[in-house]
Structure 1
């Protein structure tokens, strides 16, 4: 059963902020969706004390032309290992609309 959360005062992060953490299969499905749409995956990270900053530092450049789910997962894990106290989010950039098609936090840091 899910734990009750006070959504008026709870701090949420990105698209899936109100939901329980994604399982590995659900994460794989979201990455597969980003890739199937032809969107460019990008990874950002930020320390929890700076969450309200408008810009989070990027982990490498966006992965233009990436088609491998495994490569995206590998880079997410590498970013999390390099910054274990930071939140790590995945973004799917839609080049047609020139906007974020999807963005959500994959790893929540405890700082």
Structure 2
């Protein structure tokens, strides 16, 4: 827990230099429905298999800094690919304002992935 708290503090310090941070949401294309077995009896194997899907989001979760995922792209299969904007602790207003501007420029409300 102490290591997580130290990492969260260091992550929060980064925002002294940046207003917002842009990153991918995931380090891999999105999985298809049913591809992730949430009932894996070996917890470490479950965590290892899912690391590509949480590697960018976990620091925001641990630090309490706000972030938002924006589905700006799609894979060749038509699955959504998100980009993430992150802000410093308490920076929700700027984060949501910029996200709204991006949505106005590249609307996604009518895009539906294949099921």
Same fold (TM over 0.5): no
Higher strand share: 1
TM-score, normalization by structure 2? 0.30
- Give the structure with higher Rg (CA): 2
